[in-house]
Amino acid sequence: MKGLTERQIVGVLKHRFDSKPELPLGFEDDVAAFPISGHRLVVLKTDMLVGRTDAPPGMTLEQAARKAVVATVSDFAAKGVRPEGLLISLGLAPPVSLSTVNRIASGLLNAAREYDCRIIGGDTSETDDLVIDCIGFGFAETGMILRRDGAKPGDVVAVTGDFGRTAAGLRILLGKKKPWPRRFSRLTASVLHPTAKLETGLTLAQTGFVNSSIDSSDGLARSLHEIARLSQVDIVLESIPVAPDVRVFAGEQGLVAEELALFGGEEYELVLTMKKDRFTSVRRKVPSLRRIGDVKKGSGDVIARFGGTTRKVESRGYEHLA
Amino acid sequence: MKGLTERQIVGVLKHRFDSKPELPLGFEDDVAAFPISGHRLVVLKTDMLVGRTDAPPGMTLEQAARKAVVATVSDFAAKGVRPEGLLISLGLAPPVSLSTVNRIASGLLNAAREYDCRIIGGDTSETDDLVIDCIGFGFAETGMILRRDGAKPGDVVAVTGDFGRTAAGLRILLGKKKPWPRRFSRLTASVLHPTAKLETGLTLAQTGFVNSSIDSSDGLARSLHEIARLSQVDIVLESIPVAPDVRVFAGEQGLVAEELALFGGEEYELVLTMKKDRFTSVRRKVPSLRRIGDVKKGSGDVIARFGGTTRKVESRGYEHLA
């Protein structure tokens, strides 16, 4: 029997857990939120890193621990909310050495310092494989969180950087050839030492012009589909933001660079939509911002329209349990 | 090489994560807390249940999921803080069936309803074994949280119920004899269907007379040691609160009932200290309260003094990775 996919599982849980009164953010958004008082929310996110599936060959314990924090912080970045602190639930396979604990602690601490948030608690358990559940919390004013479901026809679609490096980097790390040419070091680094676009996300939220936002940890295509589906609009892409070194790598390897950019994952850029007439002024504050398409009336499709052709972009990407 | 114990790991992490400014609660308390505003705190707890170590034979998926919630709620109970909501980080081993997801969802939902808190989000990952990280959050006024480190010489030591059932119940579930006599069903039920003393904990906090409190999930002896160590006092026990059916079970099995009561674990009672002259009035509000000893000046020892003998109570109990 074929098992459920991660998305199917989330679908079942969402259906079972949904209840009234309505929460400030839906189950399918990047973070959860809950009212503290009339105008203030506590914002929470949990993201579980598992050694076998989330830490590829070549990733050190420090890097795995740091990545667990980056994944959680990235969701806050996409919502424009500063994470104030972290709790870490750690599952370790015995026997656990002092060096293992210290390396994990270093990775967590370095990441926490990078994003100026503090580790305030946690739990430790015995597991068969490394498990790092990183829980972030922060605070936001009601109505100030960037949502997945706010895209409007007439918006432009923008991203905060290039795509495809993690898909390419993962292929390098999983491949047999060693050492890899130095010119591809940014590709492997994107996997081993990812970065959350926290300051960018906070700046974007402060402009007040962003209508929807998501982090691209499930891949660019999936992220666009999530915005389109939850906002009930179509997204029409005018270009795929392929990183230049990904184009070189794809050429050498006989791969399609656009595929790497669309269907990768664990790439912690932000994907957003905003009013068309605000794009230029917002880009003055966020120079990395790049327009890749438009939001149209529709029912959740993502369409690539360039080079004289039009085709639907599939909703697939990085997924566990598939 | 022998690995580190769970307590040693927590010790290393605490040392590494400790930083200024001081947090409202120490790393070694049941929950973590962080200021929202001048007088209000957000209270957070994460507790990871792992199938292999935390779900004994005979425990259904519903029961395991429910237990994950109970463990987290129990820590809130010990602090006198109402948990408002939960996030669930779920690790599942593929292939995952719809029935598995539904059974876990039912266990989580039933427990959430029992304690009137809401599941507002979570994450799903692929693991080798069932992992349920249950994250609870709530709010408290500064200074109103019952702490582990507040015991004072002159306090009485009290518990909210009898002990030893989980240690006995676990022996029954791990044993070969089946079916077990019905008169021991409360022992197995204490393992399979535990209860967090949430209303009791909230009532105790509201009295304003409790100086220290901890939940007994690591066992009675360990819990007393934690209060004694963190409060820098000695605890002198006048009696061990052994459950009557544990005494019967121990007699039949040739076990020492007091050992089962002291050195078990995952027994979600509350262990607390309060001013001696308030005990009678507090017990009017919490009839299950039972005095078991006194707090004396000292440096963290737990001493049993009854039946004409005095002996130190070891600091051992339920521990992973040991």
pLDDT of residue B140: 97
| Higher-confidence position of B316 and A105 | A105
Q: Smallest CA–CA separation between A242 and chain B, in Å?
A: 28
User: And the tokens for A53?
Assistant: 């599936």
Predicted confidence (pLDDT) per residue in B208-263, tens digit? 999 999 999 999 999 999 999 999 999 999 999 999 999 999 999 999 999 999 99
Is the confidence at residue B321, as pLDDT, over 50?
A: no
Q: At what angle do helices B61-79 and B98-114 cross, to 10 degrees?
A: 30
> What is the Cα–Cα distance from A148 to A143, expressed in whole angstroms?
13
DSSP-assigned beta bridge partners for residue A131: A50, A91
Of A46, A96, A137, the CB nearest to B4: A96
Residues of A in contact with B127 (CB under 8 A): 50, 52, 127, 129, 131
pLDDT of residue A322: 39
Determine, for residues A46 and B87 on separate chains, whether the beta-carbon distance falls below 8 Å.
yes
Q: Smallest CA–CA separation between B14 and chain A, in Å?
A: 8
Q: Which of A101, A134, A139, A319 to mutate to test the interface with B (most CBs of B within 10 A)?
A: A101
E-strand ranges in chain A read 32-35, 40-50, 83-92, 118-126, 131-141, 155-159, 210-215, 233-237, 270-275, 290-297, 302-306, 309-312
Residues of B in contact with A129 (CB under 8 A): 127-128
Residue of A nearest to B71 (CA): A123
Predicted confidence (pLDDT) per residue in A166-194, tens digit? 999 999 999 887 778 888 999 999 999 99
User: And the tokens for A310?
Assistant: 């039009």
How confident is the prediction along chain A (322 residues), in pLDDT tens digits per residue?
579 998 899 999 999 998 888 899 988 899 999 999 889 999 999 999 999 999 999 999 999 999 999 999 999 999 999 999 999 999 999 999 999 999 999 999 999 999 999 999 999 999 999 999 999 999 999 999 999 999 999 999 999 999 999 999 999 999 887 778 888 999 999 999 999 999 999 999 999 999 999 999 999 999 999 999 999 999 999 999 999 999 999 999 999 999 999 999 999 999 999 999 999 999 999 999 999 999 999 999 999 998 889 999 999 886 554 3
Please tell me the pTM assigned to this model.
Answer: 0.96
pLDDT of residue A177: 79
CATH superfamily for B155-312 is PurM-like C-terminal domain (3.90.650.10)
pLDDT of residue B322: 39
Determine, for residues A321 and B120 on separate chains, whether the beta-carbon distance falls below 8 Å.
no
Mean pLDDT score of chain B, rounded to an integer?
A: 94
Q: Smallest CA–CA separation between B50 and chain A, in Å?
A: 7
Predicted confidence (pLDDT) per residue in B178-217, tens digit? 778 888 999 999 999 999 999 999 999 999 999 999 999 9
Evaluate whether A284 touches A294 at the Cβ level (below 8 Å): no
With cut-offs at 50, 70 and 90, classify the pLDDT of residue B318.
low
pLDDT of residue A319: 53
Q: What is the CATH number of domain B6-141?
A: 3.30.1330.10
pLDDT of residue B135: 98
> What is the Cα–Cα distance from B192 to B70, expressed in whole angstroms?
11
Determine, for residues B105 and A139 on separate chains, whether the beta-carbon distance falls below 8 Å.
no
Evaluate whether A66 touches A108 at the Cβ level (below 8 Å): yes
pLDDT of residue A318: 64
